[in-house]
Amino acid sequence: MSRFLEAEINLQALVDNFNTIKSYLQSKKGHTKIIAVIKADAYGHGAKEVSKALEAQGVDFLGVAFFEEALALRDSGIKSPILILFDREIKGVFEQNLIPVIFDLKQAQELSKEAVRRGRVLPVHLKIETGMGRIGIYEDVFSTIKKIASLENIRIEGIMSHLSEAENQEWTMKQIDKFIKIREFVEQMGIKAFYHIANSAGLVTNEAILDAVRPGIALYGYGLNCSGRAISLCLKPIMTVKSKILDIRRLPKGVPISYGRTFVTERDSLIGVVPVGYADGYFRSLSNRAYMIVRGKKAPVVGRVCMDLTMIDLTEIREAEVEDEVIILGSSKDASITADDLAQWAGTISYEVLTSLGNRAKKKYIKGGKEDDC
Ligand SMILES: *Cc1c(COP(=O)(O)O)cnc(C)c1O
């Protein structure tokens, strides 16, 4: 017997999210290209399968962080244009037909040299700093763009920047204003490129919807689906994480549970043992805070989360049995646990929950599943 920890990925829900974003963009602006961000193994959902599903929908571009992610996609037969966000790879870009994002002059010069050597013209995107403080051309911006534009065999196809606080309209407008100034400058140089700055959260700001957008988290059903936002799209979480109860123990009042004895039974209790722990991305900070769903009901996590095991209180769910399904992330009957819930309990963000939990669980891909009524 082996440990059961499964991340079920609903590819139909992914496709629905993609099309929801697409129609939203159409209603705002006519045609806007979508660069689907699938870095970090598609936020823990499996980049290969997610890319295949999006490619079948005619996604314009896929966006990865590093060259090796793009290579793995090409090896599995993905043909879509792939943008590499954060890498200085030179040779592989040509061999695998990829589009690098250029963030400094030296990188551009090296790519140009290789393009000339191969007799190829390389499409590139330029990353410009407007307030993220991470990566992008930031010194002598205009003259650097000019220098890059004059390099041989480099074709500037896109120009991009990144929002650092998209939920703050005032700050976002400042970043957009900077970016538009750059656009005017580049257009005066006679360069025709397409422009993109919006991540998922940026979609709430009309001015951020330029020629293309780069949603990541929204594709996986988070970020814009909560009410109380400026826009609320009907996005569906696509990952469910499940395990099975390994053991149920009948304990009297006064028994300490797990390391540090942070929880002591306050009554005669049924304590379930679940084979998931912080080594699976079930954060230790969820100790005594989170819930798991058993038989449609929420059971509180009790005591510290261990490396491979977590204990839950099943005293109120007396019908529970060993090998019952445990939903760690997902919903069943009226109970639901979202990545936002786990993030709140753990003091982090849904992105970290998804990338962490998706990591070690065995992935199973399904099409369809139950309809959400939104
Ligand atoms: C990760 C990333 C995105 C996607 O961000 P979300 O918040 O997940 O939509 C877009 N652009 C860049 C440059 C990124 O690094």
Each residue's pLDDT tens digit, 70-80: 999 999 999 99
The answer to whether the CB of 37 is under 6 A from ligand 1 is yes
Please tell me the predicted confidence (pLDDT) of residue 320. 98
The answer to whether the CB of 199 is under 6 A from ligand 1 is yes
The answer to whether the CB of 196 is under 6 A from ligand 1 is no
Using DSSP's 3-state secondary structure scheme, residue 249 falls into strand
Residue 321 contacts residue 248 (beta carbons within 8 Å): yes
Task: Tell me the C-alpha distance between 318 and 315, whole Å.
Answer: 6
pLDDT digits (tens, 9 = 90+) for 292-319: 999 999 999 999 999 999 999 999 999 9
Looking from the CA of residue 85, the nearest atom of ligand 1 is: 13
First-to-final CA distance of the chain = 40
Tokens, residue 329 = 């992330």
Q: Of all residues in the chain, what percent carry a pLDDT higher than 90? A: 91
- List C-alpha distances in Å: 119 to 94, 114, 125, 222, 322: 11, 8, 20, 44, 65
pLDDT digits (tens, 9 = 90+) for 187-196: 999 999 999 9
Torsion of CA 46, 47, 53, 58, to 10 degrees: 160
pTM: 0.95
Please tell me the predicted confidence (pLDDT) of residue 367. 87
Got the DSSP string for 288-328?
TT-EEEETTEEEEB-S---SS-EEEE-TT-TT--TT-EEEE
Task: Tell me the C-alpha distance between 221 and 217, whole Å.
Answer: 7
Task: Tell me the C-alpha distance between 250 and 268, whole Å.
Answer: 7
371, pLDDT greater than 90: no
Count the Cβ atoms, other than its own, within 10 Å of residue 170.
Answer: 7
Q: Which residues are catalytic?
A: 39, 259
* Nearest residue to 325 via CA among 288, 356, 304, 297: 297
Question: How many CA atoms, within 13 angstroms, populate the side-chain half-sphere of residue 255?
Answer: 14
Task: Tell me the C-alpha distance between 100 and 107, whole Å.
Answer: 10
| Mutation pick for ligand 1 pocket among 14, 17, 18, 37 (CB with most ligand atoms within 8 Å) | 37
